Amino acid sequence: MGPYQPKLDEYPRTKFGSQTQYCRFQYSWFEKFPWLKYSSSKDLIFCFSCFLFQKKSPINPSFTIDGFNNWKRVNDGVKCPLLIHVGGPTSSHSNSVKCVEDLMKVSGHIDNILNAQSLDEVQKNRLRLKTTIESIRWLSLQACAFRVLEKAPRNATYTSPTIQKEILHIFANKVRKKIREEIGDAKFCILVDEAKDISNKEQMSIILRFVDCLGILRERFFDIVNVPNTTASTLNKSISDVLSRHNLNVTNMRGQGYDGASNMSSAWNGLQALFLRECPYAYYIHCFAHRLQLALVGASTKEISVWLFFSKLSTIINLIGCSSKWHSELHFIQTIEIDRMITSDERDTSKGMNQIVLWKNDRLVLYVEKHVVV
């Protein structure tokens, strides 16, 4: 029996016929006909299922609109109005009962369906996000360009460049935290260099050199900072901000390694002089890598073939860069060459490949497939 069945101490009596005969509703009928709904205010019964779900106008409105109270006919065998209302398995009443059963199923409730779909979508999004994180981590280690998930929803924000950069930022913070734990309270040296990137922004890289708790000499790339200019005071402030942000005291600095430019190596107003004022033990050493680069540049100028290559390359860059017409001609020729190589199966094709970008930020750059030719 459904929870909507009222049980009264005594149901009202109804007189039938000219004889003194009284009948009343019986609570036991709920067991045989669980779809009944008794109205105590009207002393009538209705079909709860048909009242809710009968779409067409009922042929016999007794159990849906008017109500039924002819109690003496309920036990009239096959002529019982309640049995007649039930009908066969395909009757309108049977269909309404099926609808009520479906409605009463907790698993079919709209909130449960939405929650189930929501949980399923949450699991899928978590899996996609984990895949995105692992992909970004692997691509970062390999220094490869990022690619978004092809099967992710188009409105998924975790595949956007903003979220990818945020994930990279989290990785960077974790790496810096680990490096900071390795340094502890030990003394350290800094290696600094700056250069313009392809977007013409001045970037300064900071490397920390120290001896860890196991007595092993370590060199860790710590941070890269965008600086407005390369004056000694600006670089000094940027480096000091990075060190203080990670609780690295400048007084623990025991060495500085820069190139030989005046803004870095000047004994009076250079970067090394500014740090020496704060910590007299932070001795400056001309960076060995820069000295090696200078030696290689000097040696290469003595090699005729190398000198000719770079001289012609500089001439080509200057020639193409000074004329938009020549730039367009080179672009046209390169497009024809790529088409020829694709036709002859010398070059693979797929999404994002065989793209050409010429002359970007004062640099001649040919982006072809996944390779860069300068």
Tell me how far the alpha carbon of residue 306 is from its chain's centroid. Answer: 47
Task: Please give the residue that has the higher pLDDT: either 34 or 6.
Answer: 34
Binned at pLDDT 50, 70 and 90, residue 154 comes out as low
- pLDDT for residue 364: 44
Is the predicted pLDDT of residue 232 greater than 90, yes or no? yes
- Angstrom distance (rounded) from CA 206 to CA 280: 20
Is the predicted pLDDT of residue 373 greater than 70, yes or no? no
Question: Model's pTM, two decimal places?
Answer: 0.53
Is the predicted pLDDT of residue 137 greater than 80, yes or no? yes
In Å, what is the CA distance from 158 to each residue of 137, 145, 155, 248? Answer: 14, 16, 9, 34
- pLDDT for residue 365: 46
Is the predicted pLDDT of residue 305 greater than 80, yes or no? yes
Closest listed residue to residue 74, CA positions, set 41, 32, 42:
32
Q: To the nearest whole percent, how much of the chain has pLDDT over 90?
A: 26
- pLDDT for residue 150: 64
- pLDDT for residue 19: 59
Task: Please give the residue that has the higher pLDDT: either 277 or 76.
Answer: 277
Is the predicted pLDDT of residue 371 greater than 60, yes or no? no
- pLDDT for residue 264: 92
- pLDDT for residue 353: 61
255 close to 190: Cβ distance less than 8 angstroms: yes
pLDDT single digits (tens) 337-358? 888 888 888 877 765 565 555 4
Mean pLDDT along residues 204-224:
93
- pLDDT for residue 355: 57
pLDDT single digits (tens) 32-59? 888 888 888 888 888 888 888 876 666 6
Mean pLDDT of the chain: 81
pLDDT single digits (tens) 241-299? 999 999 999 999 999 999 988 999 998 899 999 999 999 999 999 988 888 888 888 88
- pLDDT for residue 112: 65
Tell me how far the alpha carbon of residue 54 is from its chain's centroid. Answer: 48
